[in-house]
Amino acid sequence: MKKKQIVRTYCKKKEDRNDKDCYLTPISIIKQLLEKEKFDKNKRFLECCSNKEKHIEKILIENGYNNVESNVYENDGIDFLKWNENKKYDYIISNTPYKNANDFIIKCMKVSTEKICLFFPLDYCNGINRYENVFNNKLGWKLSTMYVFVRKVMLEKSFIDKKGIYYRTGLGCYCWYIFEKNYTDNTKIIWIDNNKYVLGSRDCNFRYDNKNKKVISK
């Protein structure tokens, strides 16, 4: 496939994106967040824009976080932007739709009380509107940490193995944005080495079989 064809394939127009701008979060992406970031297991978690696989909720529960609620946005659940702001959660962990990123982040700040972890493209740290209204919000929140993935991530279901762990790379650079209430220190940038989960990489034991369209052992 030529470079121009690759760009056209992965950089979709807005009208060609999937319904509600929902993309699957690989299980390994969530696990690597939990390996880096600390949470109180006795507090309340919300996955505000889950899809039907509920990867984030399942991984949290598997790791001993039992007080977790998922809003299955993909299945006509409650539109999080219309969520009752009186219903509070200590933590929000989510991969929200990207098209209304600013609105979703601000909504999270109004619903969460301690920490927000959102999976967004790396270039979402740019933009004057986001700088003025999100990163310099008046709600008492600050971006504490950016966990940047060393290898790029492909979020289309067809490029993730059936177990949801391994994935192919694309053109998108992603990171977990961690916002904390009343945080006063400088923002930290921490890299996450995800090479072992990238299909076909030297550290991964699996590859994608293009002919049979499935993940196989090397």
The residue assigned the tokens 């990171």 is 175
Please give the sequence-ordered ranges of beta strands (E in DSSP) within 28-173, or none if there are none.
Answer: 45-50, 68-72, 89-94, 112-121, 141-149
Residue 113 CB neighbours (<10 A): 14
Residue 99 has pLDDT above 90, yes or no: no
How confident is the model at residue 22, as a pLDDT? 60
Cα radius of gyration rounded to whole Å, the chain: 17
CA distance 56 to 58: 6
- Sort strands 89-94 and 68-72 into parallel, antiparallel or unpaired: unpaired
Reduced to 3 states (helix: H, G, I; strand: E, B; else coil), residue 9 is: helix
Give just the sign of the alpha carbon dihedral 210, 51, 89, 178. Answer: positive
Tens of pLDDT along 5-50? 333 333 444 444 445 556 689 999 999 999 999 999 999 999 999 8
The model's pTM: 0.87
Tens of pLDDT along 183-218? 999 999 999 999 999 998 999 988 888 888 788 888
Give just the sign of the alpha carbon dihedral 81, 83, 88, 92. Answer: negative
Q: State which amino acid sits at residue 153.
A: V
Tens of pLDDT along 61-78? 999 999 999 988 755 567
Q: Where are the alpha helices (DSSP H) in the chain?
A: 3-10, 27-36, 55-62, 101-111, 128-130
How confident is the model at residue 10, as a pLDDT? 39
| DSSP conformational letter for 132 | I
How confident is the model at residue 21, as a pLDDT? 55
How confident is the model at residue 6, as a pLDDT? 39
| Cα dihedral 161/207/6/22 (nearest 10) | 10
What is the pLDDT confidence band of residue 158, given thresholds at 50, 70 and 90?
A: confident
Q: State which amino acid sits at residue 64.
A: G
What is the pLDDT confidence band of residue 59, given thresholds at 50, 70 and 90?
A: very high
How confident is the model at residue 44, as a pLDDT? 97
How confident is the model at residue 112, as a pLDDT? 98
Reduced to 3 states (helix: H, G, I; strand: E, B; else coil), residue 209 is: strand
